[in-house]
């Protein structure tokens, strides 16, 4: 078990290191790609007192089908409150491919958020990596705000949109991982656990490293999503957001 944990940590450090590699680079743009051409009109919102005189009120939204026509590697769209994060997410056979590529597979320093290659969007733990920056509000930079508990209380949930559904996730923990600390486990980067006992051990271990209490409980039936980005205050650290799925779902046979 100890050997397996060290191996997992080593692999995670390699992946996490890729994120930190361009933290202090010059970004040519605030986004790795301009998604304007992939927006469509959303369905009209329900009539309320505020919009009763404008029944056709709507806002544009990213079209997953249009995005996938450009790049078949796109597996979903990540959406936070007020769309502070509103990004298509890809997955490739390895974690290197999209570190510095955009939706059209062209070079882009900021890259594009990607699901860890050792899992998929239906894994017990969906791990997504994305870049952040000291200067620009790119990709996962807004995750830095979760260092403050007050921000978490105002924005405790987010959504992941797939071809078949919109999933809702509730954040239950925020961690600040030090890559220089060999005792700082990186098991949060694994997509599945061999047993409920192993999963519960992971939860207990992560609770010991949380920045603050959220009051959100976790059980063995929960499916997770983990978001990882650079800590722009220290290139050797990572911000890790752990969330559990709260909408109804069919339990995976791999869970």
Whether the pLDDT of residue 47 is over 70: the answer is no
The CA-to-CA distance between both ends of the chain, in Å, stands at 20
pLDDT of residue 19: 65
pLDDT of residue 97: 97
Inside any domain, residue 99: yes
Inside any domain, residue 119: yes
Lowest mean per-residue pLDDT among 55-69, 90-104, 129-143: 55-69
- Residue 16 binned pLDDT confidence (cut-offs 50, 70, 90): low
CB-based contacts of 62, cutoff 8 Å, min separation 6 = 35, 38, 39, 77, 86, 88
Average pLDDT, the chain: 83
Inside any domain, residue 46: no
CB-based contacts of 238, cutoff 8 Å, min separation 6 = 16, 19, 20, 176, 177, 179, 228, 229, 230, 231
Percent of the chain with pLDDT over 70: 76
pLDDT of residue 13: 45
Q: Say whether 10 sits in a helix, a strand or coil.
A: helix
Q: What integer is the mean pLDDT of 141-160?
A: 96
Cα dist from 184 to 12, 44, 131, 205, 208, whole Å: 12, 48, 21, 10, 11
Higher-confidence residue: 178 or 115?
115
Inside any domain, residue 255: no
* pLDDT (tens digit per residue) in 104-131: 999 999 999 999 999 999 999 999 999 9
Lowest mean per-residue pLDDT among 44-48, 164-168, 211-215: 44-48
pLDDT of residue 153: 97
Inside any domain, residue 211: yes
- Residue 84 is classified by DSSP as S
pLDDT of residue 240: 95
pLDDT of residue 26: 41
pLDDT of residue 131: 94
Inside any domain, residue 174: yes
Contact 70, 94 (CB under 8 A): no
Whether the pLDDT of residue 184 is over 90: the answer is no
* pLDDT (tens digit per residue) in 220-234: 999 999 999 998 888
Q: Count how many domains the chain has.
A: 1
Q: Domain range holding 127? A: 2-32+72-245
Inside any domain, residue 51: no
Q: pTM of this prediction?
A: 0.84
Contact 126, 102 (CB under 8 A): no
Contact 33, 108 (CB under 8 A): yes
* 162: Cα within 13 Å, side-chain hemisphere: 10
Whether the pLDDT of residue 45 is over 70: the answer is no
Higher-confidence residue: 250 or 78?
78
How many other C-beta atoms can be found within 10 angstroms of the C-beta atom of residue 170? 16
Contact 205, 27 (CB under 8 A): no
Residue 129: CATH number of its domain? 2.40.260.10
Q: 125-158 burial by CB neighbour count: b if 16+ within 10 A, else e?
A: bbbbbbbbbeeeebbbbbbbebeeeeebeeebeb
Inside any domain, residue 67: no
Whether the pLDDT of residue 91 is over 50: the answer is yes
């Amino acid at each position: 078990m100890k050997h397996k944990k060290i191996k997992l940590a080593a692999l995670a450090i390699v992946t996490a290191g890729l994120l930190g590699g361009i933290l202090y680079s010059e970004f040519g743009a605030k986004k790795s790609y301009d998604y304007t051409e992939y927006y469509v009109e959303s369905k009209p919102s329900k009539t309320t007192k505020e919009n009763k005189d404008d029944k056709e009120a709507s806002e544009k939204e990213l079209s997953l089908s249009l995005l996938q026509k450009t790049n078949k590697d796109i597996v979903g769209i990540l959406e936070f409150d007020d769309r502070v994060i509103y990004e298509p997410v890809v997955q490739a056979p390895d974690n290197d491919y999209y570190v510095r590529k955009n939706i059209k597979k062209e070079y882009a320093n900021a890259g594009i958020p990607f699901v860890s290659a050792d899992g998929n969007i239906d894994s017990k733990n969906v791990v997504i990596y994305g870049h952040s920056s000291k200067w620009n509000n790119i990709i996962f930079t807004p995750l830095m705000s979760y260092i403050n508990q007050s921000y978490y209380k105002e924005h405790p949930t987010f959504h992941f949109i797939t071809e078949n559904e919109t999933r809702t996730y509730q954040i239950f923990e925020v961690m600040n991982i030090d890559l220089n600390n060999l005792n700082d486990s990186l098991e949060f980067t694994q997509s599945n656990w061999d047993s409920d006992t192993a999963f519960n051990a992971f939860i207990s271990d992560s609770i010991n490293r949380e920045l603050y209490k959220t009051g959100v409980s976790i059980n063995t039936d929960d499916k997770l999503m983990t978001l990882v980005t650079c800590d722009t205050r220290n290139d050797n650290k990572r911000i890790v957001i752990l969330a559990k799925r709260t909408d109804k779902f069919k339990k995976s046979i791999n869970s």
